[in-house]
Amino acid sequence: MKQISHWHADPCNEVEKIQARMDGRGLEPHFHDSWSFGIVVKGNCTFKSRGEMQLAPVGAVFAIPPFEVHESLPTAEAVEYRVVYVAAHVLEAHAPELPGLIHAGRKRVWVDGEGAFAIGSDARTLMSPDVSLGEWLRAFAARLRTASPGVARPPSNVLRQSLDQQWSEPLVLAEIESATQHTRWHAIRTFRQQVGLTPGAYLRQLRAIKSRHLLRSGLTIAQTAHALHFSDQPHYTRTFKQVFGVTPGRFQSLSRQAPSAERFSKEHANDGDQQQDSHADVEMMNRLG
């Protein structure tokens, strides 16, 4: 189970920073819609991403592409970490070669001595308001360039592309699953092999991930659940907590209390018309990707 103590969002730049703690039970398979760059500040984390086991000891830096399903395994002790979530187009603007360098291999963790990071300083200072995100990302790309030729990408999936484009609509999954050149069951099986989740689970998580924009815009939890076609509010709440480790209500509280970037850095310097509004906000979310 994940507990988030700080969640700072910069909607203008589409960058989010969190401070989180994961207990020994680990995390179920999930994904994010942004690039995840983080550092483990306490404990040792083992997670599975793109079919590979990844060991992230204290001080290690990890990078996970958007929509890549990953899960954290149970651990003997709690793990604390910080993550910066960066929208894909923001990353492309700052460091266009970095996505290809990361996609080229299955490696998602870098530790001291591997030449990818000066772990103790670089990753922690990324949380500081005095550090340029662009400079940090370009430095990361430069360090990876010597170890990876680039630019392999995960295989495309037609069903997934349809869900990514139509997630805000009242979809009938059976119809989409059957609209491929293969049988419905073949499409579902292939989707799970390539993505790591069933189409239904993927769609629920995707809607929950996008819903954070609606919650920040002022919609209630019930309005958000209705706007994104969840069967009821408890169903939405369970899915949201599975992805983020906190309930939608707790997320709203964290958003209201979100510290400035400067305060966030100082606090942790020493660490290791409801329906119309709903549709308008969904349109805004579509523009955000």
What is the amino acid identity at position 201? A
pLDDT for res 279? 45
> Which whole number is the average pLDDT over 12-38?
91
Which residue, 63, 14, 17, 71, is CA-closest to 47?
71
Can you tell me the distance from the alpha carbon of 281 to that of 275, in angstroms, rounded to the nearest whole number?
A: 10
Tell me which architecture the domain covering 158-288 has in CATH: Orthogonal Bundle (1.10)
Confidence band for 235, pLDDT divided at 50, 70 and 90: very high
Q: b vs e for 121-148, b when ≥16 Cβ sit within 10 Å of the residue's Cβ?
A: ebbbebbeeeeebeebbbebbebbeeeb
pLDDT for res 129? 53
What is the amino acid identity at position 62? F
195-231 pLDDT, tens per residue?
Answer: 999 999 999 999 999 999 999 999 999 999 999 999 9
> Residue 217 contacts by C-beta under 8 Å, 6 or more apart in sequence?
281, 284
Instruction: Name the least confident of 54-58, 201-205, 242-246.
Output: 242-246
Pick the more confident residue, 176 or 29: 29
pLDDT for res 286? 42
pLDDT at 120 > cutoff 70? no
Residue-averaged pLDDT of the chain: 81
pLDDT at 151 > cutoff 60? no
pLDDT for res 12? 76
pLDDT at 269 > cutoff 60? no
* Widest Cα–Cα separation across the chain: 57
Can you tell me the distance from the alpha carbon of 233 to that of 229, in angstroms, rounded to the nearest whole number?
A: 10
Asked if 59 and 119 touch (Cβ cutoff 8 Å), the reply is: yes
- pLDDT > 90 in the chain, percent: 46
pLDDT at 288 > cutoff 70? no
Tokens describing residue 265: 């850095």
pLDDT for res 126? 55
What DSSP line would sit under 187-246, residue for residue? HHHHHHHHHSS-HHHHHHHHHHHHHHHHHHHT--HHHHHHHTT-SSHHHHHHHHHHHHSS
Can you tell me the distance from the alpha carbon of 47 to that of 67, in angstroms, rounded to the nearest whole number?
A: 15
pLDDT for res 281? 43
Confidence band for 277, pLDDT divided at 50, 70 and 90: very low
Asked if 275 and 32 touch (Cβ cutoff 8 Å), the reply is: no
- Using DSSP's 3-state secondary structure scheme, residue 28 falls into strand
pLDDT for res 131? 61
pLDDT for res 31? 94
Instruction: Name the least confident of 62-66, 76-80, 179-183.
Output: 179-183
What is the amino acid identity at position 14? E
What count of other Cβ atoms lies within 10 Å of the Cβ of residue 266? 13
What residue spans define the domains of the chain? 2-145, 158-288
pLDDT at 152 > cutoff 70? no
Pick the more confident residue, 202 or 260: 202
pLDDT at 270 > cutoff 60? no
pLDDT for res 121? 44
Tokens describing residue 145: 């360039």
| Superfamily holding 2-145 | Jelly Rolls (2.60.120.10)
Asked if 136 and 126 touch (Cβ cutoff 8 Å), the reply is: yes
pLDDT for res 117? 46
Q: How many helices and strands, by DSSP H and E, does the chain display?
A: 13, 10
pLDDT at 155 > cutoff 90? no
DSSP class of residue 41 equals E
Asked if 82 and 19 touch (Cβ cutoff 8 Å), the reply is: yes
> Which whole number is the average pLDDT over 230-240?
95
